[in-house]
């Protein structure tokens, strides 16, 4: 559920970038941050402790305007994908309004994508979220790698149909399309 500030007249939605280690989550956040005008974005905050390495920033999307007079704001989060951070990764999903799953198109990473995705579904379910009725966008990142996995192969492996987008995050390709898609899915049908 979004956070509503009645005095600031703002609605804040939480978007989590989730995925296996090194799939390109941080690169996505950096690219989005870089492409936003300074007056629309907050500082990139890095909470770098022994247990936690959260990266965060918030921004006002230009194209989405207002909902019933309230400014729309998105809070973007990510955390490393290594198994070591599993507990923090689960906590980060709490209260999420949508998730971008950043998959690694490297064929050697196929199983890691699948197990991270399954873990994400379990974690969402532990917060009583029905993953099939929840905004999820699947980003096939690293499309520039050799022998990139076929688009659609992950949905098949996880038996779930979700919107997917090709990306090369290091070149900024597909990055803005991904954030736009998840944003639209989140605010679609939302009423204050
Ligand atoms: N070739 C290629 N490299 C990429 C792409 N996206 C990210 N990388 C590289 O992959 C490495 C990992 O990227 P990160 O953005 O740090 O990945 P991450 O998902 O945040 O990793 P963790 O936080 O450790 O889970 C970096 O060296 C990136 O430059 C891409 O589309 N193509
Ligand atoms: Mg990272």
156-167 pLDDT, tens digit per residue, is: 999 999 999 999
Contact (Cβ atoms closer than 8 angstroms) between residue 24 and residue 141: yes
Nearest CA to ligand 1 atom 11: 22
Q: Is residue 103 part of a domain?
A: yes
CATH number, domain with residue 79: 3.40.50.300
| 156 lies in some domain | yes
Q: Is residue 113 part of a domain?
A: yes
Give 17 Cα–ligand 2 centroid separation in angstroms: 9
pLDDT at 56: 94
67 CA distance to ligand 2 centroid (A)? 32
Model-level pTM?
Answer: 0.96
What is the Cα–Cα distance from 94 to 5, expressed in whole angstroms?
A: 19
pLDDT for 148: 98
Task: Tell me what pLDDT residue 8 has.
Answer: 94
| Angle of the 86-93 helix axis to the 110-126 helix axis, nearest 10 | 50
User: CA-CA distance, 73 to 24, in Å (whole number)?
Assistant: 23
State which ligand 1 atom lies nearest to the alpha carbon of 28. Answer: 15
- Among 185, 188, 177, which Cα is nearest to 32's? 177
Say if residue 189's pLDDT is above 80: no
Candidate from 26-35, 43-52, 72-81, 88-97 with smallest mean pLDDT: 43-52
Mutate to test the pocket of ligand 1, among 20, 22, 107, 113 (most ligand atoms within 8 A of CB): 22
- Whether the pLDDT of residue 37 is over 90: the answer is yes
Q: Which domain holds residue 88?
A: 3-187
Quote the ligand 1 centre to 171 CA distance (angstroms). Answer: 11
Question: Is the residue at 192 inside a domain?
Answer: no
Q: Relative to the alpha carbon of 28, which ligand is closest?
A: 1
Question: Ligand 1 atom closest to Cα of 29?
Answer: 15
For ligand 1, atom 8, the nearest C-alpha belongs to 24
Does residue 46 form part of some domain?
A: yes
Domain count, the chain: 1
Q: Which of 99, 102, 170 to mutate to test the pocket of ligand 1 (most atoms within 8 A of CB)?
A: 170
For residues 75-79, give the mean pLDDT. Answer: 95
Quote the ligand 1 centre to 23 CA distance (angstroms). 5
Q: Which helix (H) or strand (E) holds 184?
A: helix 175-187
Mean pLDDT confidence for 132-139: 96
């Amino acid at each position: 559920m979004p956070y509503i500030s009645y005095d600031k007249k703002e609605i804040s939605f939480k978007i989590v970038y989730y995925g296996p280690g090194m799939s390109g989550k941080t690169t996505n956040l950096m690219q989005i941050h870089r492409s936003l005008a300074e007056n629309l974005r907050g500082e990139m905050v890095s909470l770098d402790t022994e247990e936690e390495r959260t990266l965060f920033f918030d921004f006002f999307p230009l194209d989405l305007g207002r909902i019933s007079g309230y400014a729309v704001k998105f809070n973007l989060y990510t955390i490393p994908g290594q198994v070591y951070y599993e507990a923090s990764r689960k906590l980060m999903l709490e209260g999420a309004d949508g998730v971008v799953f950043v998959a690694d198109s490297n064929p050697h990473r196929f199983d890691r994508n699948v197990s991270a995705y399954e873990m994400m579904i379990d974690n969402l379910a532990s917060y009583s979220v029905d993953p099939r009725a929840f905004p999820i966008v699947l980003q096939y990142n690293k499309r520039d790698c050799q022998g990139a996995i076929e688009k659609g192969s992950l949905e098949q492996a996880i038996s779930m149909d979700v919107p997917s987008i090709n990306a090369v995050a290091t070149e900024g390709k597909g990055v803005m399309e991904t954030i736009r898609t998840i944003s639209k899915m989140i605010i679609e049908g939302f009423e204050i």
